[in-house]
Structure 1
Amino acid sequence: MPRILHLISCASPPISDLATGIDSFAAAGWDTCVILTPTAAAWLGDDGVDALAARTGRPVRVRLRKPGELDPFPPADAVVAAPLTFNTLNRWAAGISDTTALGNLNRALGLGVPVVAAPVIGPVLRAHPAYAASTTALEGAGVAMLDPDVVTLVREDKTKALAWLVITERLGS
């Protein structure tokens, strides 16, 4: 029986390649549920969001649930935040839950669900003091924070992608 993975993704260039990540997770025995930040959903557009829903066989969550509305996803056995942006990383570390993505990241910490984070953050923003404070806080809460230089790939055409196999391997078996 596949394990349930909640993939929480932000608006960063590797968002265009989530299908590769979903396939990598599926090959490792994970049933992936996708949650997007509102900006990530806008970047993908309706067709991109619909394609992810078709690939996973589940709706893609973007908006907060209304009172009494049931969660369409089963509980997560693990959570992956990828790609994770500077903005979402810092808001998560501060405990802000004003989007479905942030709410689910914060709940994962409270539930003790294993979380792997793959930040796609360049060196200039990593030099900002908030980055060190936020990664330290999240690592202290048990988040497996991957090195952006290891998990972010730059293709020949200069577009960024994620090393999905690295993320999948970090999840373990």
Structure 2
Amino acid sequence: MTTPGTARVLYVIACAAPPAGDVAVLVRHAQEQGWDVCVVTTPSGRSFVDVPAVEALTGHPVRSEYKQPGTDDALPPPDAIAVAPATVNTIVKWALGIADTLALGLVTEAIGKQLPVVALPFTNRAQAAHPKFERSIEELRAWGVRVLYGPDVYALHEPGTGGDHLHAYPWHLVLDELP
């Protein structure tokens, strides 16, 4: 574990997709590179994550909800954000500027703050076929978000088989894209 306050801070935002159960893989790799890592999940993504284990690994609480106005933030401010796994839902809402969850509020604001942001979607072939998904990726890329998506990243799987493809989820690519 990196000692909080001694390194650049990376927020890892985990959405409700099967790889979220392995988010500690990304956390450990980031810590090995000197990042102080904080994990934020979408409300639905929280159930995919072993929250006590991730909190022990990071030394920070796993947040999923907005804090109450006037209260101190439990996490240090981010220097960069990684959205992994990112879902179709998160990508499309993010591109539309919808900030109805803490995770979306953070990534929407990150564009305006010009923070380095990398997103690594995990989705199936049917959901990826929705026209707004591809357009949302194009918009996010135009705004400076590094979206790691396409056949050169990993092959899409058929609906209902995501759990069979966790071994192919390329966590390592996320850190390669951060400054």
- TM-score under structure 1 normalisation? 0.89
Letter matched to residue 93 of structure 1? A
Cα offset, 1:7, TM superposition: 0.5
Unaligned runs of 5+ in 2: 1-5, 158-162
**Contact 1:64/1:99 (8 A) holds in 2:** yes
The answer to whether 1:158 aligns with 2:145 is no
How far does the alpha carbon of each residue in 1:143-163 deviate from its partner, in whole angstroms, 9 at most, with x for none?
001025415798xx8242431
Q: 1:152 to 1:77 in 2, by over 3 A?
A: farther
Query: What's the counterpart of residue 77 of structure 1?
Result: 79
Bigger strand fraction: 1
Q: How many residues align?
A: 167
Letter matched to residue 81 of structure 2? V
- Which of 16, 21, 35 is the equivalent residue of 1:30? 35
Unaligned runs of 5+ in 1: none
Query: What's the counterpart of residue 5 of structure 1?
Result: 10
* Structure 1 consecutive aligned stretches of length 4 or more whose deviation exceeds 3 Å: 151-154
Query: What's the counterpart of residue 19 of structure 2?
Result: 14
Superposition pairs of residues 43-62 of structure 1, within 5 angstroms: 43-44=48-49, 48-62=50-64
3-state SS of paired residue (2:38): strand
Cα offset, 1:75, TM superposition: 1.5
- TM-score under structure 2 normalisation? 0.86
Cα offset, 1:20, TM superposition: 0.8
In 1, Cα distance between equivalents of 2:127 and 2:95: 16
Bigger helix fraction: 1
Query: What's the counterpart of residue 168 of structure 1?
Result: 175
- Identity fraction in percent: 38
In 1, Cα distance between equivalents of 2:110 and 2:99: 12
**Contact 1:10/1:40 (8 A) holds in 2:** yes
Letter matched to residue 68 of structure 2? K
3-state SS of paired residue (2:118): strand
